[in-house]
Structure 1
Amino acid sequence: MSEIRFEEIKMSAGGFERECNPLPRLEQLKSVPWPVEVGPDMPQQDAKYINYGCGTPLLPYLLQDNYNRDRKTRSFKTAVLENEFLKAVFLTELGGRLWSLIYKPLNRELLYVNPVFQPTNVAYRNAWFSGGVEWNMGIPAHNPFTCDKPFFALLKDGDTPVLRMYEWDRIRNAPFQVDFYLPPNSPLLYVRTRLINPHKREIPAYWFSNIAVPESPGHRVLAPASKAYTFDYSESRFAVKAANIPEEKGIDVTYPTNIYTANDFFFRIEDGERPWITSLDNEGCGLIQASTRELKGRKLFVWGMNAGGRKWQEFLSVPGAPYIEIQAGLGRTQVECIPLPAKSEYEWLEVYGYLQADSGTVHGSDWQKACDEVETRLNRFATIDQLEQELKRSRETAETKPDEIIQRGSGWGALERRLNGLSETQNFVSKGIIFPDSSMNREQEDWLSLLENGFFPDNPPVSRPKSYMTDNRWLKLLEKMPPQYTGWEANYHCGLMHYTAGEIETALDYLDKSIKSAKNLWAYRALALIYLKKNMSEKALEFMDMAWGLSQGMPELADEYCRMLCSLEQFDRCEDILKQMNQDLLSRPRVQIARIQTCFEKKDYDTAEDLLNKIVLADIRECETTLTDTWFSIKAAQEAQKRKCSVNQEIVEHVRQHLKPPANIDFRMHE
């Protein structure tokens, strides 16, 4: 018997507010420096799509950075899918994360379940949390919905209940759909996914299922491959290169605790091989994930055993609760998208379950025998042909209209339907995906006015814009407006849309029109960032000064202003701005970084070090080394003072080689 029910769970959680940062990010948050280089040992057939569809700006999405580390017991809504063998728990309001998967006969948790919910700055829109299985689509990153509420709906496949998750991605302007189901007496959870291209043009497609499992000495990750791709993290380049499996440079990298620094290994599964990945403990037991052939990519990610990797593990959770990630994707790596042809779709089926293999074989020295043992055990549950047949059989259900929507997602799918001139009763992208008008809210209302009435409301310039667009179809509608109806906000949106299209001079013209229509911090701030990118620092500072003067002490702008002043070495001006700030603004971690840097420039190294050692940078970015770089700079300056000389390369190298940063600020993933 299989059932779906809805419950709540409680856990210790950092504060997280759904209201986004009002300042649109004009560039993407980078953990990867695009474009990625391709090493000489990667064949052309595998390198074909490297960088394709990558490096996409953040707009029209806004940052989700309104979180803290003040942990309290908080409630989370869940959907529970359960049968005789498995109990699957989904966090419906957090990207549909598969949070827990329990194998009931042994009462064994198959995933890594984080004991806390703690947002950190890892995802495409900043906020991300570790644990469970995350469904990443659209762009090569932790996806825009990972801390958002997608649609959830219910339907049945015969007597089997189906939990459907879907949403509309605003970057690709395309939907995705995932059906979760547990057939009666099945030891496997079925996850059926569709990526749909509704356009008359090709779009980049991306998917990686990101599976967290416990990290422990003796655990081994296996996938049917003898080669992998990894990254060269040298200072001069970021490149994809080949690696051997299981041993690379004398280290068995299939045992995650052998790996010193953070790293990725993309298993190069040969065409025709069955795609799967597993993490098995000392006794040969653990989670198995397998799929139909479309989902050919498999990956191992580790934070590493160095100080920075251990710090990240604790920062994301609590001490003593480390994890690793095993992943499954459309591409062979995560620095590529796959072309999705016009008016077509990709679909595949994943399964998740418990596997018990012979421990001596899977931990033996013969890698091929270890993989064969896993596949033999897996075939007892479901062969690859059975999965392919199930994918075809379930296609009709995937196209079936849901019986009930139990959670509404965003209104962007409904707005897109209206843009296409379709009513709720007309088939839009699929019969299985419903975007009702009732899902639209204030984020869509001004765009709906533009669509239906021909004008974009000119809201008070002190109010934050409700949302953003980058789609050229909306730009055309804005530019068709009569001049008498084109106010500051319509011009502002035109400016940003031209900017994201790479039309910089046109963007500047529209932003200037916005300010002439009504002085507003939004256009001044956008001009500042664009002129900063053009290396016109005086103009950038002039416009940022204007924005700050109109902002009434906006906290998010305080962070940006201080960062800009320090990046341009305007430390006297930064000190003046800091003196104008109240205690709430001064307590913001990014503002504190500016205070530390101004103290450093004044040669007040002891105060700078004291402030640095006390800081808790809640939004430190994955791969960011601001804290340790600043600490080493302070130490080099102090050492130079002792020697009564200027800082030189020998001193810099000396402090980096012989001094160890405090553990609370050491987030270095690659030393």
Structure 2
Amino acid sequence: MKTTVRRDVLTLPVAPTGPENPLPPLRPPGDPHTPDERAKNGLPRDMARQVGYEPLRSLLPVRLLDGYGRKRTDTPLGTLVIENGRLRATVLPGYGGRVHSLLHKPTGRELLYRNPVLQPAGFALNGAWFSGGIEWNIGATGHTTLSCAPVHAARVTAPDGGEMLRLWEWERLRDLPFQVDLWLPEDSDFLHVGVRIRNPHEKPAPVYWWSNMAVPEERRVLAPADEAWRFAHPGGLRRVPVPVSDGADRTYPPRSEYSADYFFDVPDGARRWIAALDEDGHGLVQTSTDLPRGRKLFVWGTGSGGRRWQEWLTEPGTGGYAEIQSGLARTQLEHVRLDAGTEFSWLESYGPLSARADLVHGDWADACAETRARLADALPGEAVDAAYVAWLARADTEPGEVLAVGSGWGALEVLRAEYKLPGTPFDESTLGTEQAPWLELLRSGAFPEPCEVAPPGPTLVSRNWRDMLETAPARPLTEYHLGVAQWHEGDRAQAVRSWERGLERALSRWPLLRCLAVADAVEGHLERAADRYAEAFDDLCQERRDDGAAWTAATAALGREAISGLLAADRPEAARAVWDRLHETTRAEGRFRLVEAQIRYAEGDIAAVRAVFDEGFEAADLREGAEPLGDLWAAATGGEEIPARYDFRLRP
């Protein structure tokens, strides 16, 4: 059959992601993938330079997505399917363009780990993420903020004259447009994926990219390397031999007890590839042109915490998975410089591979040689290079039929700077209510005050938007947004002055008070931060107009943050007062049952803490590497063994 691109519908048990958290994320992200200073010693010079290059100061202008729960209902999801006679790829345009499934039709084999549910968990940089398939990670170290966000999609003419699926969006952490073209030549066993990241600005930009493939964990993972950089919680990075290190063959995911990343040190000049093959020698292989030098294996580990995370991300009875990845840098701790007015582009290829099982599961050198040979038979390196050249010639082709629509932020940036981005149109028709006040600022020079009382919308923080805010009339909402942009830039004293000026005339005081409370807490002024948190929450409760999604999300977010600030100042009575004013449905959420237990502990009511645990709860937005459940359990019980349902530890 000829290659086709079509719409379809997939029904899965889905836990909704919920509304965005309206509080701007002013604190730097807590990143479990940051190496400690000792680990940086002895790194190769280029790696050391890129590990320290432009780390995130904050998640701004992106907002947190942390209001999801654990209740799943069958939900129809719009999909895009690209298919020929041999492969069928199913894409979720509403979830970052994730490839949910890659089916090899002649054998009926699913080449990926296909999660039977869509359960958000706290792994993306901004919160909600889910496991399975192939995801496109762009932005900064971690899972992309687009994990649960829509992207633009359209039908495009492929290099061979058939159909190709184009995905594109504006990545907001680094302010860069990118595209992902899925091309499946007629009768091919390999899905080609052309990737392009452009820097339209007048200064260099840090770039991060890792293509992340989930595969069943009962595989051997192979890559052309005899050494790897191993990274594990909390912050350890060291070079280890491949395949055996610390007494076990780590290329088999079930042979690791604890969570770890293995970044294969692929030699210069070697063909770039990684494969995950089962006991019979069958499985998935990924290869690429030379630009993406990194290849990685991630394992959850067989310890109780790793098993709990695996269960947490799917449903009982589902097999475990590992991740194999391909990235621009040698490790995910690095960011790569992209000069002004230039681009990165490359081609990846995904498909089935079959090799002799006795060799695949034997000596490492023989296993790699066999895999390399079978890959050369199935898809020679020259064919990948030729496909890249053919695709790149079509990368600027304007899309045809629009199949899905992403955000309006790219359209706003194109309007502001008049960027020319052939192949990835950011049309004005995609502008929405969130972009409207910024469009008004762009056109009139003034940021509009709201027509009705509501939580503030998102803030733009790049230098160009900050300059416009600084010259706009100094109204309270303008001062609020200006302060957020100044804070992101690192000008904290000026940010505080802007928020204080806004507070003098603001009718809606709680957004400014909350920002000032964060500033106080960061500077160690815990008592003043607590006062401002309490005042901010009181003002919000008086101002909120209804129990709709926006106000409920604001009350939950500010209430949770205020309780944390009040407990940090050793004021459990005030924290209890905030708790009592939360919505009843909010207090019943698992993440707030944990907050309740924390308040009880601060009050000294250890029996009540134990009762919360015994009743059972699920704190839906637990973060990777965070251990609040284990810490609170240990403190409340004197060190009793934590129950399995609360054990999310990823280290010994």
Give the structure-2-normalised TM-score.
0.95
Moved more, 531-540 or 380-389: 380-389
> Deviations 1:503-561 (Å, cap 9, x if unpaired)?
11100000001111214211100000111000011211121112101112712111111
For residues 368 and 60 of structure 2, the distance between their equivalents in structure 1, rounded to whole angstroms, comes to 43
Task: Give 1:28 deviation, angstroms.
Answer: 3.8
**3-state SS of paired residue (1:116):** coil
Question: Would you say 1:507 and 2:495 are equivalent positions?
Answer: yes
Partner of 2:444: 453
Partner of 2:481: 493
Quick one: structure 1 residues 577 and 48, their matched pair in 2 at CA, closer, same or farther if it must change by over 3 Å?
closer
Partner of 1:250: 247
Question: Would you say 1:468 and 2:459 are equivalent positions?
Answer: yes
Task: Give 1:372 deviation, angstroms.
Answer: 0.9
**3-state SS of paired residue (2:393):** helix
Output aligned runs, 1:219-618, within 5 Å: 219-233=219-233, 238-321=235-318, 322-364=320-362, 366-420=363-417, 422=418, 428-459=419-450, 462-481=453-472, 485-519=473-507, 520-552=509-541, 554-613=555-614, 614-618=616-620
- Please list every run of 5 or more consecutive structure 1 residues that lacks an aligned counterpart in the other structure: 423-427, 637-654
For residues 153 and 257 of structure 1, the distance between their equivalents in structure 2, rounded to whole angstroms, comes to 40
Partner of 1:166: 168
Letter in 2 for 1:260: E
Task: Give 1:662 deviation, angstroms.
Answer: 0.9
For residues 111 and 474 of structure 1, the distance between their equivalents in structure 2, rounded to whole angstroms, comes to 42
For residues 564 and 612 of structure 1, the distance between their equivalents in structure 2, rounded to whole angstroms, comes to 23
Number of residue pairs matched?
A: 634
Task: Give 1:465 deviation, angstroms.
Answer: 1.7
Task: Give 1:582 deviation, angstroms.
Answer: 4.7
CA contact (8 A) 1:34 1:54 kept: no
Task: Give 1:70 deviation, angstroms.
Answer: 1.0
CA contact (8 A) 2:449 2:475 kept: yes
For residues 577 and 457 of structure 2, the distance between their equivalents in structure 1, rounded to whole angstroms, comes to 32
CA contact (8 A) 2:40 2:48 kept: no
Letter in 1 for 2:184: L
For residues 214 and 488 of structure 1, the distance between their equivalents in structure 2, rounded to whole angstroms, comes to 53
Quick one: structure 1 residues 414 and 45, their matched pair in 2 at CA, closer, same or farther if it must change by over 3 Å?
closer
Moved more, 579-588 or 304-313: 579-588
Letter in 2 for 1:538: E
Task: Give 1:497 deviation, angstroms.
Answer: 0.6
Q: C-alpha root-mean-square deviation of aligned residues, in Å? A: 1.6
For residues 536 and 310 of structure 1, the distance between their equivalents in structure 2, rounded to whole angstroms, comes to 40
> Deviations 1:557-579 (Å, cap 9, x if unpaired)?
11111122223322232233334
Q: Percent identity?
A: 35
> Deviations 1:438-466 (Å, cap 9, x if unpaired)?
00011111111111111110116841222
For residues 201 and 495 of structure 2, the distance between their equivalents in structure 1, rounded to whole angstroms, comes to 27
For residues 556 and 513 of structure 1, the distance between their equivalents in structure 2, rounded to whole angstroms, comes to 24
Quick one: structure 1 residues 525 and 461, their matched pair in 2 at CA, closer, same or farther if it must change by over 3 Å?
farther
CA contact (8 A) 1:356 1:377 kept: yes
> Deviations 1:54-95 (Å, cap 9, x if unpaired)?
234111011112211111111111001111110110011110
Output aligned runs, 1:76-91, within 5 Å: 76-91=77-92
For residues 82 and 559 of structure 2, the distance between their equivalents in structure 1, rounded to whole angstroms, comes to 45
For residues 400 and 598 of structure 2, the distance between their equivalents in structure 1, rounded to whole angstroms, comes to 58
Letter in 1 for 2:645: N
Moved more, 493-502 or 385-394: 385-394
Selected match of 1:198 from 197, 200, 222: 200
> Deviations 1:95-142 (Å, cap 9, x if unpaired)?
000000001111110000001110011101100000000000121121
Partner of 2:648: 667
Quick one: structure 1 residues 439 and 582, their matched pair in 2 at CA, closer, same or farther if it must change by over 3 Å?
closer
**3-state SS of paired residue (1:523):** helix
Partner of 1:58: 59
Task: Give 1:20 deviation, angstroms.
Answer: 0.9
**3-state SS of paired residue (1:397):** coil
Task: Give 1:586 deviation, angstroms.
Answer: 2.5
Moved more, 366-375 or 52-61: 52-61
Letter in 1 for 2:644: A
Partner of 1:43: 44
Quick one: structure 1 residues 403 and 594, their matched pair in 2 at CA, closer, same or farther if it must change by over 3 Å?
closer
Task: Give 1:233 deviation, angstroms.
Answer: 3.1
> Deviations 1:396-416 (Å, cap 9, x if unpaired)?
210111122221211111111
CA contact (8 A) 1:362 1:374 kept: yes
For residues 444 and 602 of structure 2, the distance between their equivalents in structure 1, rounded to whole angstroms, comes to 55
For residues 16 and 585 of structure 1, the distance between their equivalents in structure 2, rounded to whole angstroms, comes to 15
For residues 192 and 2 of structure 1, the distance between their equivalents in structure 2, rounded to whole angstroms, comes to 17
**3-state SS of paired residue (2:626):** coil
CA contact (8 A) 2:228 2:262 kept: yes
CA contact (8 A) 1:197 1:345 kept: yes
CA contact (8 A) 1:284 1:356 kept: yes
Partner of 1:21: 21
For residues 33 and 363 of structure 1, the distance between their equivalents in structure 2, rounded to whole angstroms, comes to 31
Partner of 1:621: 623
Quick one: structure 1 residues 384 and 499, their matched pair in 2 at CA, closer, same or farther if it must change by over 3 Å?
same
Structure having greater relative contact order (Cα 8 Å, sep ≥ 6): 2
For residues 9 and 57 of structure 2, the distance between their equivalents in structure 1, rounded to whole angstroms, comes to 36
Letter in 1 for 2:485: M
Task: Give 1:36 deviation, angstroms.
Answer: 4.3
> Deviations 1:162-201 (Å, cap 9, x if unpaired)?
1000011122221001110110111100000001111121
Partner of 2:552: none
Task: Give 1:623 deviation, angstroms.
Answer: 1.1
CA contact (8 A) 1:119 1:128 kept: yes
Quick one: structure 1 residues 447 and 281, their matched pair in 2 at CA, closer, same or farther if it must change by over 3 Å?
same
Task: Give 1:486 deviation, angstroms.
Answer: 2.4
**3-state SS of paired residue (2:163):** strand
For residues 457 and 625 of structure 1, the distance between their equivalents in structure 2, rounded to whole angstroms, comes to 43
For residues 120 and 267 of structure 2, the distance between their equivalents in structure 1, rounded to whole angstroms, comes to 37
Letter in 1 for 2:344: Y
Task: Give 1:34 deviation, angstroms.
Answer: 4.2
Give the structure-1-normalised TM-score.
0.92
Task: Give 1:598 deviation, angstroms.
Answer: 3.1
For residues 505 and 452 of structure 2, the distance between their equivalents in structure 1, rounded to whole angstroms, comes to 10
Quick one: structure 1 residues 576 and 414, their matched pair in 2 at CA, closer, same or farther if it must change by over 3 Å?
closer
For residues 376 and 399 of structure 2, the distance between their equivalents in structure 1, rounded to whole angstroms, comes to 32
> Deviations 1:185-230 (Å, cap 9, x if unpaired)?
11100000001111121111110001001112xx210000001001
- Please list every run of 5 or more consecutive structure 2 residues that lacks an aligned counterpart in the other structure: 545-554
**3-state SS of paired residue (2:50):** coil
Question: Would you say 1:184 and 2:186 are equivalent positions?
Answer: yes
For residues 232 and 93 of structure 1, the distance between their equivalents in structure 2, rounded to whole angstroms, comes to 32
Task: Give 1:664 deviation, angstroms.
Answer: 1.2
CA contact (8 A) 1:283 1:358 kept: yes
Letter in 2 for 1:47: A
Task: Give 1:499 deviation, angstroms.
Answer: 0.5
CA contact (8 A) 2:593 2:619 kept: no
